[in-house]
Amino acid sequence: QVHLVQSGAEVKKPGSAVKVSCKGSGGAFSGSAVSWVRLAPGQGPVWMGGIVPFYGGDTYAQKFQGRVSITADKSTNTVYMELRSLGYDDTAVYYCAREGFLSGYFDFWGQGTLVTVSS
Amino acid sequence: EIVLTQSPGTLSLSPGERATLSCRASQSVSNNYLAWYQQKAGQPPRLLIYGASSRATGIPDRFSGSGSGTDFTLTISRLEPEDFAVYYCHQYGRSSTFGQGTKLEIK
């Protein structure tokens, strides 16, 4: 069974960066892409970007271009998302989500990581 | 960017009733690449429907999706107590965007 387990909650100061991890098991990343989606209070989900861990190809939403980096460590089946220059409006729950093979929809999700930006 | 608008924002119904949730896209969704997710408090979203009308693995047949182009619908034929949650539509035909959600609450 596919499982995605994310790192724990973070509290960060404005202007700093956060790095969240997503470890897959049960064949989670076999040729599939992994995306990051955030859910801020009172808003719908927002896709941030994704990566295909098998070969490292990444793509980002224009909204986050230049501020986010998504990387993968195939040896540990872990995908990372780093978001820089944090502002208060980056306070949200961040999810990693696996795309069904060559599909685009998200069939498995991590449990979510709350990132709070506070001075 | 394709903008998805969900309606209504909140839907108040009783168990046993039929729920109809709408998702309208600002442009045609290519290949009807439209998914629906259910989210309960403290949990990640759960895939219900993909390709506008295909049920994901393990999803009860009271959930059905329909529509094409710019207008899509999620129907829950007879509401069970566990169906009260927030529902999101998601288009993955051109990049990836989500609707703002419909909260389905107990009347």
The pLDDT profile of chain A, 119 residues, written as one tens digit per residue, is 899 999 999 999 999 999 999 999 888 787 889 999 999 998 999 999 999 988 889 999 999 999 999 999 999 999 999 999 999 999 999 999 999 877 899 999 999 999 999 99
Task: Report the pLDDT value the prediction gives residue A29, as an integer from 0 to 100.
Answer: 80
Q: Is B66 in CB contact (< 8 Å) with chain A?
A: no
Cα torsion B11, A112, A53, A82: sign: positive
Q: What is the largest distance, in Å, between two alpha-carbon atoms of chain B? A: 37
Rounded-to-integer distance, Cα B63 and Cα B84, Å: 13
Closest-approach residue (CA) in chain B for A41 = B100
Strands A106-109 and A46-52: unpaired
Give the distance from residue A73's alpha carbon to the nearest chain B alpha carbon, in angstroms: 23
Task: Report the pLDDT value the prediction gives residue A28, as an integer from 0 to 100.
Answer: 77
Yes or no, beta carbons of A105 and B47 under 8 Å apart = yes
Q: Which of residues 31-70 of A touch B (CB under 8 A)?
A: 35, 37, 43-47, 61-62
Rounded-to-integer distance, Cα A95 and Cα A80, Å: 11
Cα–Cα distances in angstroms (integers) from residue A13 to residues A18, A43, A87, A95, A101, in the given order: 10, 22, 8, 20, 37
Give the number of other CB atoms < 10 A from CB of residue A75.
6
Yes or no, beta carbons of A106 and B35 under 8 Å apart = yes
The partner residue sitting opposite B99, judged by closest CB among A44, A105, A111, is: A44
Rounded-to-integer distance, Cα B44 and Cα A72, Å: 22
Which residues lie below 8 Å from residue A64, measured CB to CB, with a gap of 6+?
A48, A49, A83
Task: Report the pLDDT value the prediction gives residue A102, as an integer from 0 to 100.
Answer: 78
Cα–Cα distances in angstroms (integers) from residue A45 to residues A40, A42, A92, in the given order: 7, 10, 10
Rounded-to-integer distance, Cα B92 and Cα A35, Å: 12
Q: In this structure, what is the dihedral angle of CA atoms A64, B70, B88, B100, given to the nearest 10 degrees?
A: 60
Both tokens assigned to B33? 């690449």
Residue-wise pLDDT tens digits, B3-62: 999 999 999 999 999 999 999 999 999 999 999 999 999 999 999 999 999 999 999 999
Task: Report the pLDDT value the prediction gives residue A24, as an integer from 0 to 100.
Answer: 94
Yes or no, beta carbons of B90 and A100 under 8 Å apart = no
